[in-house]
Amino acid sequence: MKKLLIASLFISSFTFAQQTQKPPLHGKNWMAITGKPLAATAGSMIFQKGGNAVDASCAMLAATCTMWDVLSWGGETQALIYNPKTKKVIAINAMGVAPTGATPEFFKSKGMNFPPQYGPLAATTPGTPGGICYMLAEYGTMSLKEVLAPAMDLAAGYPIEAQTANSIERGKDQIKQWPYSKQVFLTHAGEKREAPEAGEIFVQKDLLNTLSKMVEAEQSALKAGKNRKEAIYAAYDRFYKGDIADEFVRGAQEQGGLITKADLANWKPIEEEPLQTNYKGIDVYKLKQWTQGPVLLQALNILENFDLKNMGYNSAKYIHTIYQAMNLSFADRDFYYGDSYAAPDEPMKGLLSKAYAKQRASQIRMDRNDANAGPGDPYPFEGKTNPYINLLKSRGYDVKDTSSKRGFAPTHDQRQMASITDTEYKDALWMGTTSVEAADKEGWVVSITPSGGWLPACIAGKTGVGMSQRMQSFVLDSTINPFNVVAPGKRPRVTLTPSMALKDGKPWLSFAVQGGDTQDQNLLQFFLNMVEFGMTVQEASEAANINTNQLWLSLGGNKTADRAPRAGNLLLHSNTPDWVRKELRSMGYTLSFEDRTSGPINAIWFDWKHGSFWGGSSNHGEDYGIGW
């Protein structure tokens, strides 16, 4: 009875505003939140000059890339934008593609089971420069010169923060393999500490030159009579088709990379219609299946069949139900998701149908973990026959018998669950990618989860641009996922996943998080914390989450054993009560505990009653927001 009383008090307390470690942000004119304080300042500078949320987002994205907040200019950008003029949510696909020569046979000939984690062979074509130019040209109001000004100031020299400086030092052995990276990052080569010191002015002359060339192209086009949009695309062309492209390709190939000039010239960002579902009257939007975004939509559809609120926040029953729903959704992700612009076609209509979700919900055992949870069969919910049914059976999955055994399940990489005292684990938990959230009083809302080119990064020639490492998210074996096998010109299925929600046709929540495979795990729980348990946006960003590793890792080692699922492995917050731990262990879970169970979450909640914004920004890491 005492335990039930304590739990009841703990759960019901969320109906009132709680004291949080970081204060919530408030604003009535605009809100700018991202992964670095200086980058949030860049967004505020653009707002103060009259820019809209798209302008500010592009400035924050450019700044985070320049500061190497686990991404760089050669990485990838994916965004959701609410357009108040059309009252629609649009999606921006600025994910790079596999280069010429990137085939399963090529990587297997090098003894790999997956494309490499680091180096020039890990690189897709750069997406972020094109994504910034596209968003700014189509939906912004300012010039590229104005929007890139803060990033160019940073490239000219900024006081580097300890997190990035120490990451450079830890990765210096790899950095030394790449001559252009060594020149940029190891400012004290030959000394005991070769990376910059915290607070040292970190200068990136080559990157500044590249950004200057883009601005020069824009300004020359304006002088020639081109309009704002045309001038921005002139800068785009210089990066992807001009002298910047020449040097990028030269530098990449010199170091063993595959990217060609044609690969850059043929790539372009794509504007898409996002996928969506409705959860209890709230329309939730995610990017398409070239990301893991639909996982959150699938999980919400499954969880709609349960009374989560009455289970109680982070009770054993709630944790178990969330874990099982995520496992089923991730099993579908791992087998069915891939580039929507490459054959074969993914069965997204079936995967996102409410009837399919109800069937999947009925497969959840409420007494114990299902260690054999696998992909379902969404094809009947599209009126089709599954063309991969024999492939599933060959892997030991019987979609009609959820108790069937796995065909293979090698041991997962133990480093993923290392102690919080381990420096490398802390670094991975705090970083992973970054997020950008912005909104303005005109109604523009932007959510971006950019990444790629993280430290230790291989810089392409004298461009100052770090190349992406996203090739590792492809598979080489169709038995793992027939939709995500590497091929030239194809996008890998990535973890990056901004989110947006509308209620009564108006923006309700814009949210994103750092991390890899944990992103939609943490965003799912963040969303439910607000919807089911009445938390404020800041409370929800700080609340304890759970993580499952019963999934195929999207990022990691080159061996199958490094990537394969770890059934029943559950990461909990260290303050989880003893009785909850005991009950979960009795259900077959192997428990691990940390004091941080989520990457940094950033979000904006729209308070239509008072006509204001509430901003939430994680209570750990370097994420920061400014509102006015």
Q: Is 531 helix (H, G, I), strand (E, B) or coil?
A: helix
pLDDT tens-digit readout, 208-222: 999 999 999 999 999
Question: What six digits make up the tokens of 576?
Answer: 């989880």
Residues of the chain with CATH 1.10.246.130: 275-383+416-425+505-603+610-617
**Element holding 604 (H helix, E strand):** strand 601-607
Q: What's the confidence (pLDDT) of residue 19?
A: 83
Round to whole Å and give the CA distance between 499 and 110: 38
Q: Residue 345 carries which DSSP code?
A: P
pLDDT at 17: 53
How far is the C-alpha of 365 from the C-alpha of 378, rounded, in Å? 20
φ/ψ of residue 309, rounded to 5: -60, -40
Look at residue 427 in the predicted model and tell me its pLDDT. 42
For the whole model, what pTM was predicted? Answer: 0.93
Helix (H), strand (E), coil (C) string for 65-91? HHCCCCECCECEEEEEEEECCCCEEEE
* Topology given in CATH for the domain delimited by 275-383+416-425+505-603+610-617: Serum Albumin; Chain A, Domain 1 (1.10.246)
Q: What is the mean pLDDT of each successive set of 10 residues along the chain, which is 628 residues long?
A: 38 54 95 96 98 98 93 97 98 98 97 94 98 98 98 98 94 97 98 97 98 98 98 98 98 98 98 98 98 98 98 97 98 97 97 98 96 96 96 78 32 31 39 86 98 95 97 94 98 96 98 92 97 97 93 84 87 96 97 89 97 93 92
Q: Count of alpha carbons within 13 Å of 582, Cβ hemisphere only?
A: 4
Alpha-carbon distance of 113 to 133, in angstroms, equals 36
Quick one: pLDDT at residue 599?
Answer: 84
Distance from C-alpha of 428 to C-alpha of 119, rounded to nearest angstrom? 18
